Amino acid sequence: RLLIIDFGSQVTQLIARRLRELNVYCEIHPYQNVTDASIREFAPKAIIFSGGPDSVMREGSPRPPKAAYELGVPILGICYGQQVMMKDLGGRVEAGEHATAEFGRAYVTPTGTHPDFLTGWFMDGTGREQVWMSHGDHVAEIAPGFEVYGTSPGAPFAITADLKRNFFAVQFHPEVHHTPNGKSIYENFVRLAGFTGDWTMGAYREEMIAAIREQVGDKQVICALSGGVDSSVTGILLHEAIGDQLTCVFVDHGLLRLGEAEQVVAMFRENYNLNLIHADESDLFLGELEGVSDPETKRKIIGKLFIDVFQKYADGIEGAEFLAQGTLYPDVIESVSFSGGPSVTIKSHHNVGGLPEKMGLKLVEPLRGLFKDEVRALGHELGLPASFIGRHPFPGPGLAIRCPGEITREKLDILRKADAVYIDQIRKHGLYDDIWQAFAAILPMRTVGVMGDGRTYDYALALRAVVSVDGMTADYYPFTHEFLSETSTRIINEVKGVNRVFYDCTSKPPGTIELE
Ligand code: XMP
């Protein structure tokens, strides 16, 4: 495995990402946590020093442990990582002057010799390579043993290497998109370090199972299962590792979609035979929500009840010492703090965020090293049905935030049926995977209609469908008129209580994806 020592760059995660694409397993550790002893214990096959915002000229600025240079393994230093290497190994770094600072696109040209490390570079006929720079300071004198292999106007030592020791140091960021050939730097580096690119999801699965067994021993673990991809993969992985020592709790707050609770419970019980408590607490949740129409109050009530309910069931599981969570890599903010704050901040991920301390539980987080698409790949590997893996995101408060205003059982019932017809239409037209998230919402009003010879006074529905990358921004989906009219007709014909259908053509911003 490869160790990335993080000096606080904004793009350190992308280094991990590039390496995973090469099927190389790596871990990112903040520099404060890496000591002589820990690095020897980790025994990396190669090390990368990330970029970072500090200046090596500053007294007390971040450094790798000395042992990093003594392990005899290849090292790649990037930006701040290059400057650290030069300073540590006997070179000289100068503070930035305006003329030598570089931010953004730059071009590197070769200096003559073309080492193996640069395979794939300087090939396109122009004799130069586009890179992305972001540095104030620069290397003024390289360390003994190093040679220069590429220069740019602001960085005379853009690419340097000590080929004897396999130490490589570059001033630019090969991990970003704006260094189009950056991937080959990593490719060459890991090849020289002896990685064969055999790290796969299958290998990860085996490693994680061993790690879980080691961490948990013969103790009991509880896990809140929502039916979403992250918690499902976590649950199944733990089940494979420790079988009956795992109990999952599926909290049914009565705000799920049509048939959802039954499907989730059946999938886990039948396919995986895991211990699953179906905590049907819909009366409790819907009772507490009665008469409440303020969106934030709804969220708070649901969040608090969720914790209470989970704790109640967990208390009933004798000897539970661990809580399993589907925390993903992007949720783990391993950014380095230079303001004296805690070095590692972990975003609380699930609704059970505050639980571990409150209940004295230790955390098991087997997905901490993975990105979302890797979790999906692991889900495939574990045999999770494709229909589960590809599901649209569903919010924790469920249908509560798709029922603006007061929630009633009647409205929820109508909403569930209409949503099912809408999603069925989307699937039938082969659009489900093109859409990031789609759902129906029931509006807090009734409108007049005419059906047959009679006047109706029924609910209006809003249909929502968006395309997005991460949910932060979104565009509404451009359905055809035919699709919209067919869907509207089907909903009104098939769902009693609805006499009007709107399509929400608001993007985010200014709208949000959910209506509340
Ligand atoms: P908005 O409505 O904020 O939604 O544009 C962005 C994404 O987040 C989901 N969402 C939530 N998820 N609890 C959740 O677990 C919530 O309170 C919540 N509110 C919105 C929403 O479904 C969309 O995917």
pLDDT in tens, 188-204: 999 999 999 988 888 88
Cis ω before 385 (30° cut-off from 0): no
Separation of CA 398 and ligand 1 centre (Å): 9
Mean pLDDT of 467-476: 88
Q: What count of other Cβ atoms lies within 10 Å of the Cβ of residue 9?
A: 23
Least confident interval from 97-101, 293-297, 302-306, 445-449: 97-101
Which residue puts its alpha carbon closest to atom 18 of ligand 1? 395
What three-state secondary structure class fits 72? coil
Average pLDDT, the chain: 90
For residues 258-277, give the mean pLDDT. 94
Residues 34-68: pLDDT tens digits?
999 999 999 999 999 999 989 999 999 999 999 99
pLDDT, position 154: 84
CA 195 to chain centre: 25
> Which residue has the least CA distance to atom 10 on ligand 1?
395
- In the structure, what pLDDT confidence band is assigned to residue 361 with cuts at 50, 70 and 90? confident
Predicted local distance difference test score (pLDDT) of residue 465: 98
Among 9-23, 111-125, 281-295, the range of highest mean pLDDT: 281-295
Which architecture, in CATH terms, is 2-192?
A: 3-Layer(aba) Sandwich (3.40)
Was 249 annotated as part of a binding site? no
Of all atoms in ligand 1, which is nearest to the CA of residue 437? 24
- Written as six digits, the tokens of 207 are 């490693």
In angstroms, how far is CA 74 from the centroid of its own chain? 29
Confidence of residue 429 (pLDDT cuts 50, 70, 90): very high
Local confidence band at 337 (pLDDT 50, 70, 90 cut-offs): very low
Lowest mean pLDDT among 205-214, 268-277, 355-364, 483-492: 355-364
pTM of the entire predicted model:
0.75
pLDDT tens for residues 106-137? 999 999 889 999 999 998 888 899 999 988 88
Is 230 annotated as contributing to ligand binding? Answer: yes
Tokens standing for 510? Answer: 């200014």
Two domains, one topology: 2-192 and 408-503: no
Separation CA 46–CA 224 (nearest Å): 37
- Which residue type is seen at 213? R
Q: Is 231 annotated as a binding residue?
A: yes
Looking at CATH, the fold of the domain delimited by 201-389 is given as Rossmann fold (3.40.50)
Helix 182-192 × helix 12-21 angle, to 10°: 70
| In the block, residue with structure tokens 């999906």 | 376
Q: Which of 83-87, 284-288, 451-455, 475-479 has the lowest mean pLDDT?
A: 451-455
Return the residue whose CA atom lies nearest to atom 20 of ligand 1.
395
pLDDT in tens, 153-201: 888 999 999 999 999 999 999 998 889 999 999 999 999 999 999 888 8
134 is in an annotated binding site: no
Question: Looking at residues 276-299, what average pLDDT do you find?
Answer: 96
What are the φ and ψ backbone dihedral angles of 51, each rounded to 5 degrees? Answer: -75, 180
Is residue 207 pLDDT above 60, yes or no? yes
Domain boundaries, the chain: 2-192, 201-389, 408-503
Long-range contacts: 305-309, Cβ < 8 Å, 24+? 305/253, 305/281, 306/251, 306/253, 306/351, 306/352, 306/396, 307/351, 307/352, 307/354, 307/355, 309/251, 309/279, 309/281, 309/284
Q: Predicted confidence band at 354 (pLDDT cuts at 50, 70, 90)?
A: low
| pLDDT at 344 > cutoff 60 | no
Average pLDDT over every residue of 1-23:
90
Q: What is the pLDDT of residue 99?
A: 55
pLDDT of residue 277: 95
The answer on pLDDT for 332 being more than 50 is yes
3-state helix, strand, coil in the chain (%, to 5): 35, 25, 40
Phi and psi at residue 485, to the nearest 5°: -70, -35
* Dist CA 187 CA 491 (whole Å): 53
What residue has token string 């190389």? 24
Judge if ipTM > 0.90.
yes
Task: Characterise 77 by phi-psi region: left (phi > 0), alpha (psi -120 to 50), beta (else).
Answer: beta
In the prediction, which pLDDT does 100 show?
62
pLDDT at 345: 36
Kindly indicate the confidence band of residue 98, based on its pLDDT and cuts at 50, 70 and 90: low
Confidence of residue 471 (pLDDT cuts 50, 70, 90): confident
**Residue 301, token pair as written in the block:** 């009530």
* Best probe residue, ligand 1, of 230, 513, 516 (max atoms within 8 Å of C-beta): 513
- Give the list of residues 6+ apart from residue 212 with CB closer than 8 angstroms, or none: 237, 238, 241, 242, 364, 366
Ligand 1: distance of its center to the CA of 278 in Å? 24
Backbone angles phi, psi at 149, to 5 degrees: -120, -5
Residue-level pLDDT at 20: 86
Does residue 340 have a pLDDT over 70? no
Mean pLDDT, rounded, for 293-304: 93
Residue nearest to atom 21 of ligand 1 (CA): 395
Q: Could you give the percent of the chain with pLDDT greater than 70?
A: 94
Q: Closest Cα to residue 139, out of 130, 148, 126, 131?
A: 148
Q: Does CATH number 3.30.300.10 belong to domain 408-503?
A: yes
For 178-182, 218-222, 383-387, 468-472, which range has the lowest pLDDT when averaged over its residues?
Answer: 468-472
Mind telling me the catalytic residues? 79, 173, 175
